[in-house]
Amino acid sequence: METVVHLFQVASQCHQNGDLNRAETIYHQILEIQPENADAYHLLGLISYQRSHFTDAIRFICQATAIDPLESTYLYSLGSTYSVVKKFEDAIRCYKKVLGTHPDSAEACFRIGSIREMQGQIDEAIVHYQQAFQINPRFVDAYIQVGRLLRVKGELERAVRSLCGLSNRQSQFGEAYRGLGLALAEQDKLEEATEIYKRAISISPDCAEAHNNL
């Protein structure tokens, strides 16, 4: 066991330093000692991912999940890899497995939302982004995505309400507001940006960020 621990330490250092060939060799050595070592398979999968060898990455990480099917780290890695190769439903299954054992995982909800958005399923994406910030009210990116997608749908009132809801929870409201208003401004949609700020003020007169950006 001490040998495996030492090998992992050396491999991890090589991996962090970018010496993927050496790290890969050591992970294989670990598997010769412990053929059922899920971490070694997972890390081999990450090396394959870094090399853009996604088929190999999926194969290795699937071996890790076969050994430990409930480890969320493996499922997140597998889901990310499936997303890269556009196997979106497989990716979603991974994230749903995470939610099966960790129903409070805002990250899993957010990732499902991102995939649904890539698939053009905007309403479903919004639902999952909302679930993410309902689980974790500090998940600013989820608020930003909801506000952005509502704007895309032309539902400015709902977009503003979503962003103003963030102001009642944390001081990072400004980030969400800039993510919507400034994005419009950068697209030279200045009138829409101004409308966003005006509507925010009409809904929540204390929205300081809206006043500052007018």
Q: Which domains does the chain have, with CATH numbers?
A: 104-214 (1.25.40.10)
Q: How far is CA 30 from the centre of its chain?
A: 30
Residue-by-residue pLDDT tens, the chain, 214 positions: 559 999 999 999 999 999 999 999 999 999 999 999 999 999 999 999 999 999 999 999 999 999 999 999 999 999 999 999 999 999 999 999 999 999 999 999 999 999 999 999 999 999 999 999 999 988 888 988 888 898 788 787 777 667 666 655 544 454 555 556 655 665 566 777 677 666 656 655 665 555 555 5
Kindly report the pTM of this predicted structure: 0.79
**Helix and strand totals (H; E) in the chain:** 13, 0
Residues 83, 108 contacting (CB under 8 angstroms): no
For residue 2, what are its two tokens?
């001490």
17: buried, middle or exposed (CB in 10 Å: 19+, 13-18, 0-12)?
A: exposed
* Residue 135 to residue 11: CA distance in whole angstroms: 36
